Chains A and B, each alone.
Chain A
Amino acid sequence: MVSEAPLPEWATEPCIMGIDEAGRGPVLGPMVYGCLYCARSYQDTLATLNFADSKTLKEEKREELFENLKADESLRWAVDVIDPRELSSKMLKRNKINLNEISHDSAIGLITRVLGMGVLLTEVYLDTVGDADKYRIKLSERFPSIKFVVAKKADSLYPVVSGASIVAKVTRDRALQEWVLEETAENMHRKFGSGYPGDPDTKAWLDHHKHSVFGFPTLVRFSWGTCTSYSKDMVDVLWESDKTDEDGGSNSSGKRQLKLSNVGFTSSKRKTEEIESSAKGRCKFFQARKLEQLTHF
């Protein structure tokens, strides 16, 4: 999502950009990265527009400021909406991608996009994610022509970041309000609350929408600690990718294999989960195909 083209005239002047995020903490919904940029010569005017850290503003005020900002021809903005499914799945891969990395990638993506449009970015301001110095170095190496200012509370220190925080926050709120649940089970509703784990509405929503097999609707970030506290209400799910971590090489014969074929045969004396594979002595043809003769079922 980008504000409408074509490229404004001021884009060929040296430009500044602020980047900020909304929805990093919530257990559900997308995380949104927003950016706001303008000519450096517009910086003084920007400071008079009353942009403040979006968290300190009431919703109506944020909406109003977002409308002002969209109408201002000296300002441009863009957002990156990261789907909760993407957050969960990246964080639950075998080679886990943590939230800081996802955040860095999103910010880098926004800068790349705006540069690609032909905007002469010379300064970028952003809130720190992880260690500020390391983050600044990472960005500077990636974009040598840009001066980066990475600071804690950048959203209240720099108006251009405050503006970006409004873009991000309003986009996140709207995305959640308009969220269409993928699941079609009965009795589902959309009173998510803010999505923060402490919000009573969010808690009630999670309680109401948990499912013993599926866990939660895909709106929920399964990788969040909040979800772990619900695991007692859910059946265990064992993943192949979680199992083979310890013993490295996947070709070592006689290694423990996760038995998936036994699911369902719970009356059997064999354990339904991990058992010693009887691959030993089996022909390679069968090993490679995970085929096994079943004498008990």
Chain B
Amino acid sequence: MGEGRGTIGSINLSRKDDEEEVNISGHVHQLPCCIKFDGHCSVSHYFKPRPTDIEVDGLRVEEAYFRGRKLQGTSISLPNGYSGFVLGKKSLGKRKFCDDASEGNTNCWEMKAKFDKLAYWNHESLPSKDDAFVRCFHWFAVAEAVSFSFLYGAIL
């Protein structure tokens, strides 16, 4: 795995004029588990976060249950200037936009939805500034200092 066999792909973050941007801020949940399912699901009917009185590192703790487990999480905003994207493979009908059109090998992605806020959830511990997920954001500062031009180029 990861022997440097990179694949060339493209990600299209622009939207067509006739389509409204789907903003799913507040509906994105990062769970401490792997759900082996990919598709539509009535999340808001079943996943019911509730506020608590607890606050850690200035983070308001919420609680929710999933598959019988108690999750403790918090809502965070993405740093200024950054957005989260839900990407999907382009549908076959739009294949002409792709570089590589051979069957099963298309690697063209497009933006399906966008978000600037999400909730992440821990199973055994209260959310805190020490969580790996929150600390991921440190990377932004490092990346900007080291190779902002590269990062910028990658998105284009």
With A and B bound together, what is the CA distance between A238 and B123 in angstroms? 12
With A185-B46, A213-B35, A235-B36 already in contact, the answer to whether A222 and B68 are too (CB < 8 A) is yes
In this assembly, does B42 line the interface, its C-beta being within 8 Å of a C-beta of chain A? yes
In this assembly, does A71 line the interface, its C-beta being within 8 Å of a C-beta of chain B? no
With A273-B36, A276-B1 already in contact, the answer to whether A240 and B45 are too (CB < 8 A) is no
In this assembly, does A223 line the interface, its C-beta being within 8 Å of a C-beta of chain B? yes
With A238-B34, A288-B132 already in contact, the answer to whether A222 and B67 are too (CB < 8 A) is yes
With A93-B124, A223-B68, A285-B142 already in contact, the answer to whether A295 and B4 are too (CB < 8 A) is yes
For the complex formed, measure the closest distance between the CB of A251 and the CB atoms of chain B, giving whole angstroms.
13
- Asked whether, in the complex, the Cβ of B36 is within 8 Å of the Cβ of A236, the reply is yes
- Asked whether, in the complex, the Cβ of B5 is within 8 Å of the Cβ of A238, the reply is no
In this assembly, does A212 line the interface, its C-beta being within 8 Å of a C-beta of chain B? yes
On chain B, which size bracket covers the interface?
35 or more
In this assembly, does B135 line the interface, its C-beta being within 8 Å of a C-beta of chain A? yes
With A218-B65, A275-B1 already in contact, the answer to whether A240 and B33 are too (CB < 8 A) is yes
For the complex formed, measure the closest distance between the CB of B45 and the CB atoms of chain A, giving whole angstroms.
4
In this assembly, does A221 line the interface, its C-beta being within 8 Å of a C-beta of chain B? yes
- Asked whether, in the complex, the Cβ of A291 is within 8 Å of the Cβ of B136, the reply is yes
- A289 cross-chain contacts in B, Cβ below 8 A: 132, 135-136, 138-139
- Asked whether, in the complex, the Cβ of B68 is within 8 Å of the Cβ of A273, the reply is no
The residues in B between 1 and 17 inclusive whose CB is less than 8 angstroms from any CB of A are 1-2, 4-7, 9
For the complex formed, measure the closest distance between the CB of B96 and the CB atoms of chain A, giving whole angstroms.
21
With A and B bound together, what is the CA distance between A124 and B87 in angstroms? 63
The residues in A between 275 and 291 inclusive whose CB is less than 8 angstroms from any CB of B are 275-276, 278, 285, 288-291
In this assembly, does B155 line the interface, its C-beta being within 8 Å of a C-beta of chain A? no
- Asked whether, in the complex, the Cβ of A237 is within 8 Å of the Cβ of B46, the reply is no
The residues in A between 246 and 297 inclusive whose CB is less than 8 angstroms from any CB of B are 258-260, 263-264, 266-267, 270, 272-273, 275-276, 278, 285, 288-291, 295-297
With A185-B42, A289-B138, A291-B136 already in contact, the answer to whether A278 and B9 are too (CB < 8 A) is no
- A266 cross-chain contacts in B, Cβ below 8 A: 38
With A and B bound together, what is the CA distance between A116 and B32 in angstroms? 40
In this assembly, does B66 line the interface, its C-beta being within 8 Å of a C-beta of chain A? yes
For the complex formed, measure the closest distance between the CB of B99 and the CB atoms of chain A, giving whole angstroms.
16
With A and B bound together, what is the CA distance between A264 and B87 in angstroms? 10
Question: B41 is contacted by which of A184, A213, A273, A290 (Cβ under 8 Å)?
Answer: A213
With A237-B33, A238-B33 already in contact, the answer to whether A221 and B68 are too (CB < 8 A) is yes
With A and B bound together, what is the CA distance between A295 and B5 in angstroms? 7
- Asked whether, in the complex, the Cβ of A88 is within 8 Å of the Cβ of B68, the reply is yes
- Asked whether, in the complex, the Cβ of A212 is within 8 Å of the Cβ of B37, the reply is yes
List the B residue with the shortest CB-CB distance to A295: B6
For the complex formed, measure the closest distance between the CB of B140 and the CB atoms of chain A, giving whole angstroms.
11
- Asked whether, in the complex, the Cβ of A85 is within 8 Å of the Cβ of B46, the reply is no
List the B residue with the shortest CB-CB distance to A290: B132
With A and B bound together, what is the CA distance between A221 and B142 in angstroms? 46
9 A-B pairs whose Cβ atoms sit less than 8 Å apart in the complex: A214-B46, A237-B33, A238-B33, A238-B34, A260-B32, A267-B89, A276-B1, A278-B1, A290-B133
Can you list the 3 inter-chain pairs with the closest CB atoms, starting with the nearest? A222-B68, A88-B68, A89-B70
